[in-house]
């Protein structure tokens, strides 16, 4: 069966299963990258309040939309409530700030970025204590925050709401209130999360894989800080061998593996050639044995890169999702 290019969400809205990641790009680089992405056929764009780039993304998107409202309908735009906004009364205010910066009439998907929370400090999305640890809000009521996010839909300015970085137990708790339209989590060859993927499928929640290429910038930064080794996914022998067999790049093989597992992915690139590569995935197929070889690369929890250890002290939050 052909690999579907979209998830179909409630009400028939289509979420392209390849989206464009925007984390860690300066404003001018991001605007140019978004132009390349639009020209290459991307219609799904992922940002977050915490990336501090919503205004740059909004400018590039609005230039492309111009006065053609049909073009807006082609797009699927995602942003996220930052950890400092994880209080029910703050949700509308943070949502409005994102909408103002994006400059769009409506949003396609609004995600709770993390189940843990920072203190709400106006003008500082990552508030720290003098010793470098995060100012953590330990009083988070996850369900109350989720209900407040769900309520945003009543305004008609957000079409779908979802979550990111929650664990299986948290996802089940949220589903008991209202099923998220999607779950965005780290998934790549070394961190395949089979149990979470199965649990989300059983609950009917589609998964979007973040850092699908191994987030080299984050991995390098963490390696420099901690001395831990983060293998480069693109140079793994199995990935290289399969890429050669299909005359494709290692990145295309990694993304195709994610798609054939039934997931969506949001690779980020600032290079026009690689931007194009990362969405040129629909005209080749990995065999069952190639899928098995790639699935065998999974390292479980050891393979996780974005474990939020860079937010010092956050592992003590009652809703920290990755308890050992």
Strands (E), the chain: 6-8, 14-16, 20-21, 44-46, 76-81, 107-112, 158-164, 183-186, 207-210, 264-265
20 within 8 A of 44, measured Cβ to Cβ: yes
| Biggest distance spanned by C-alpha atoms of the chain | 56
Write each residue from 39 to 78 as x if it is in contact with ligand NAP (CB under 6 A), else as -, in one continuous string. Answer: -------x--------------------------------
Pick the closer one to ligand NAP by CB: 175 or 222. 222
Pick the closer one to ligand NAP by CB: 148 or 249. 249
Which residue of the set 51, 110, 210, 230 is catalytic? Answer: 51
Q: Does 36 bind ligand NAP (CB under 6 A)?
A: no
Q: Does 218 bind ligand NAP (CB under 6 A)?
A: yes
Q: Does 214 bind ligand NAP (CB under 6 A)?
A: yes
> How many whole angstroms separate alpha carbon 233 and alpha carbon 214?
6
Pick the closer one to ligand NAP by CB: 116 or 159. 116
- Tell me the CA end-to-end span of the chain in Å, nearest whole number: 38
251 within 8 A of 279, measured Cβ to Cβ: no
Pick the closer one to ligand NAP by CB: 155 or 226. 226
Q: Does 215 bind ligand NAP (CB under 6 A)?
A: yes
Nearest to 215 by CA among 15, 78, 22, 29: 22
Q: Under 8 Å CB-to-CB from 288, ≥6 apart: which residues?
A: none
Q: Does 210 bind ligand NAP (CB under 6 A)?
A: yes
Q: Does 267 bind ligand NAP (CB under 6 A)?
A: yes
Q: Give me the active site residues, please.
A: 51
Residues that bind ligand NAP (CB under 6 A): 21-23, 46, 113, 164-165, 184, 210-218, 234, 249, 251, 266-271, 274, 277-278, 306
């Amino acid at each position: 069966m052909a690999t579907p290019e979209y998830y179909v969400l409630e009400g028939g809205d289509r979420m392209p299963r390849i989206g464009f990641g925007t984390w860690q790009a300066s404003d001018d680089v991001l605007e140019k990258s978004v132009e390349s992405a639009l020209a290459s056929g991307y219609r799904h764009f992922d940002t977050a309040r915490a990336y501090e780039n919503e205004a740059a993304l909004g400018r590039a998107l609005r230039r492309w939309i111009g006065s053609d409202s049909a073009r807006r309908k082609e797009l699927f735009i995602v942003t996220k409530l930052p950890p400092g906004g994880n209080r029910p009364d703050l949700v509308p205010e943070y949502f409005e700030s994102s909408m103002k910066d994006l400059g769009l009439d409506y949003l396609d998907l609004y995600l709770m970025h993390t189940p843990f929370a920072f203190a709400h400090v106006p003008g500082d999305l990552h508030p720290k204590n003098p010793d470098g640890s995060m100012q953590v809000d330990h009083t988070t009521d996850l369900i109350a925050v989720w209900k407040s996010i769900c309520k945003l839909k009543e305004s008609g300015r957000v079409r779908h709401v979802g979550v990111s970085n929650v664990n299986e137990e948290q996802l089940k708790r949220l589903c008991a209130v209202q099923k998220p339209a999607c779950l965005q989590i780290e998934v790549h060859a070394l961190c395949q999360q089979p149990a979470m993927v199965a649990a989300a499928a059983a609950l009917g929640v589609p998964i979007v894989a973040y850092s699908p290429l191994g987030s080299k910038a984050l991995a390098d930064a963490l390696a420099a800080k901690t001395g831990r080794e983060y293998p480069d996914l693109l140079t793994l022998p199995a990935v290289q061998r399969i890429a050669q067999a299909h005359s494709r790049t290692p990145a295309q093989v990694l993304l195709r593996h994610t798609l054939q597992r039934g997931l969506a992915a949001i690779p980020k690139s600032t290079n026009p050639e690689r931007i194009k590569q990362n969405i040129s995935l629909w005209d080749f197929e990995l065999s069952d044995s190639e899928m098995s070889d790639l699935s065998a690369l999974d390292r479980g929890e050891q393979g996780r890169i974005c474990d939020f250890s860079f937010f010092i002290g956050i592992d003590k939050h009652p809703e920290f999702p990755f308890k050992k």
